[in-house]
Amino acid sequence: MSTTTEPSNEVRGVIERSFDDRYSRHARESLDELPENFTITDPSVSGHPIVFASLGFLKMTGFERHEVVGKGGGMFQGPGTCRRSVMEIREAVREEREAQVVLLNYRKDGTPFWMLLRVCPVFSAHGGSVVHFVAVQVPLHRKPRACSPGGGGFSQVHDFVFRCCRKEVCSDSLAELGCASSMNQVLERDVTELESEEPCEASDVEKRSAVTAMDNIFSVLTHYSELTGRLVCRKRCSNPDVGLLSSSLIISLGRIKQSFVLTNPHLPDMPIVYASDAFLKLTGYARDEVLGHNCRFLGGGNTDTSTLHLIRESIKTEQPCTVRILNYRKDKSSFWNLLHISPLRNASGKVAYFVGVQIEDDYKNEDRQCWRPDMRHLSVVGVVKVAVRSLSMSAGSSKS
């Protein structure tokens, strides 16, 4: 069984709105009538979680819906899952395109099964952004192979070891990968044997089934998105809005647990184009109340204007600065914000964004003893810089 933690009620609310606001609740009923196995995920929510899982998918994997919604697709991977195939899917998500691979996944009871996985982005017809990904899974039929003498096969892999290895396969955290390295060494022989096993090949019938399933799903999604006035399409119908973040960058930024925002200096009034979950929790605002707005909404009657002047000068000169400023939450309560602002440059050296990292200056916070604010500021800026720089470099190479 998966060891991933249960999403909070707040996160579950975000996940429900991700689907219902776009397609309406009635879309769930129509999708449940489809016989295909599939999931729908949202790259704009931290962790790129599943927001809908079909009845066929749940029956195939043995999970209940509440055990799946809110979790990432990595929960179905295990020691025999080919990392190369996983990277192919991640690359397709990064490039916001369709992809198809054969993958070894695991049911709730730990038994492995081969499937044909077809992934397709769902685009907003107005603005061109990726709002969801649809993943169709077609189980592949094959004859079970005899286990090698002394190998023990899948059934003798200890449950605890299996869960740890599964976590390592699906993890994107460098820290988690480092912690799991010793476990990988212990299981290196078993994993190598499993990955070297000749994979299934999808038949033409199974490939056509995946295409047909995707057509049926998009027919439902398109119909119900028309009813809400938020039309989606299978192909990008319009050029992406200026300043729009790619789904891959949003996924990368979503792994950062600190409070921060990205603003775009090339757009009028330098609006926020990304806000972390921690920022939303700190300020009490919802994401749609923040995106597209200038950060000045955090100011209030007692906010020092001289501090605001320092911030404007740092942006004008493209230099980092750190200030202590009185800000206000949505409920009008105030807090002292240790704010660090720094420019983020792309691969060509030009400023692409500004990042603002917020730390509540609360002397009752015990974390102050463990992490100096300046170190926390720099750690967040460093990770965000890597994500932005990596994206611009890969985008440049794909065009050449």
**Considering the domain 256-399, what is its CATH architecture?**
2-Layer Sandwich (3.30)
Higher confidence at residue 19 or residue 236? 19
Instruction: Kindly report the number of other CB atoms within 10 A of residue 238's CB atom.
Output: 13
What average pLDDT is seen over the chain? 81
Average pLDDT over residues 332-355: 91
> Among 10-24, 27-41, 113-127, 161-175, where is mean pLDDT lowest?
161-175
pLDDT digits 0-9 by tens, 371-397: 688 888 888 999 898 888 776 555 544
Using pLDDT thresholds of 50, 70 and 90, give the confidence band for residue 196: very low
pLDDT digits 0-9 by tens, 132-189: 999 999 999 864 443 344 444 443 334 444 444 444 334 443 334 344 444 344 334 4
Residue 334: how many CA atoms within 13 Å on its side-chain side? 10
Residue 248: how many CA atoms within 13 Å on its side-chain side? 19
Percent of the chain with pLDDT over 90: 51
What is the rounded (10 degree) CA torsion for 83, 88, 94, 99? -140
Q: Residue 75 is which amino acid?
A: M
pLDDT of 393 reads: 54
| Rounded Cα distance, 92 and 70, in Å | 21
Helix (H/G/I), strand (E/B), else coil: 50: strand
Per-range mean pLDDT, top range of 25-29, 67-71, 123-127, 187-191? 67-71
Percent of the chain with pLDDT over 70: 76
| Rounded Cα distance, 264 and 281, in Å | 22
pLDDT of 252 reads: 85
Q: Which CATH superfamily is domain 9-233 in?
A: PAS domain (3.30.450.20)
> Among 48-57, 110-119, 133-142, 391-400, where is mean pLDDT lowest?
391-400
pLDDT of 5 reads: 60
Instruction: Kindly report the number of other CB atoms within 10 A of residue 311's CB atom.
Output: 18
Higher confidence at residue 124 or residue 138? 138
Contact 290, 358 (CB under 8 A): no
Average pLDDT over residues 226-254: 79
In the predicted structure, residue 65 carries a pLDDT above the cut 90: yes
Please name which of 195, 161, 176 lies closest in space to residue 81, comparing C-alpha atoms.
195
> DSSP 3-state helix, strand, coil percentages of the chain (rounded to 5)?
45, 20, 35
Using pLDDT thresholds of 50, 70 and 90, give the confidence band for residue 13: confident
In the predicted structure, residue 239 carries a pLDDT above the cut 90: no
Average pLDDT over residues 52-77: 95
pLDDT of 254 reads: 86
pLDDT of 163 reads: 44
Using pLDDT thresholds of 50, 70 and 90, give the confidence band for residue 195: very low
In the predicted structure, residue 71 carries a pLDDT above the cut 50: yes
In the predicted structure, residue 230 carries a pLDDT above the cut 80: yes
Average pLDDT over residues 245-262: 87
For the chain, residues classed under CATH 3.30.450.20 are 9-233, 256-399
pLDDT of 391 reads: 65
Residue partners of 193: CB distance under 8 A and separation at least 6: 148, 151
pLDDT of 188 reads: 44
pTM score of the predicted model: 0.63
Contact 318, 347 (CB under 8 A): no
Using pLDDT thresholds of 50, 70 and 90, give the confidence band for residue 122: very high
In the predicted structure, residue 297 carries a pLDDT above the cut 80: yes
pLDDT digits 0-9 by tens, 199-217: 678 999 999 999 999 999 9
